[in-house]
Amino acid sequence: MRLLVGIGGAIATALLLASVCGVAQAGAALDNWRFDEGSDGLVTASLYATNKLITGGGALSYSPVLTIACRKDGEPRWSEWLHVNDAVSARGTITMSVTADQGKKVSESWAVGTRGRMLVRDGADGVRRLVSANRLLLSWRFGLLSGRGEADFDLAGASEAVGQIAGTCNAELP
Predicted confidence (pLDDT) per residue in 140-154, tens digit: 988 776 678 999 999
The Cα–Cα gap between 120 and 135 comes to: 19
Residue 25 clears pLDDT 80, i.e. is over it: no
At residue 22, the pLDDT reads: 43
Please say whether the beta carbons of 29 and 46 come within 8 A: no
The Cα–Cα gap between 44 and 79 comes to: 9
At residue 12, the pLDDT reads: 39
Residue 106 clears pLDDT 90, i.e. is over it: yes
Q: Where are the domains of the chain?
A: 1-31, 34-169
The class that CATH gives domain 34-169 is: mainly beta
> pTM for the whole thing?
0.80
The Cα–Cα gap between 46 and 162 comes to: 11
Residue 150 burial (CB count, 10 A)? 14
Residue 14 clears pLDDT 60, i.e. is over it: no
- Residues facing 139 on adjacent strands: 97, 150
Q: How far is CA 22 from CA 12, 14, 43, in A?
A: 15, 12, 26
Closest CA to 46 of 157, 135, 148: 157
Residue 20 clears pLDDT 50, i.e. is over it: no
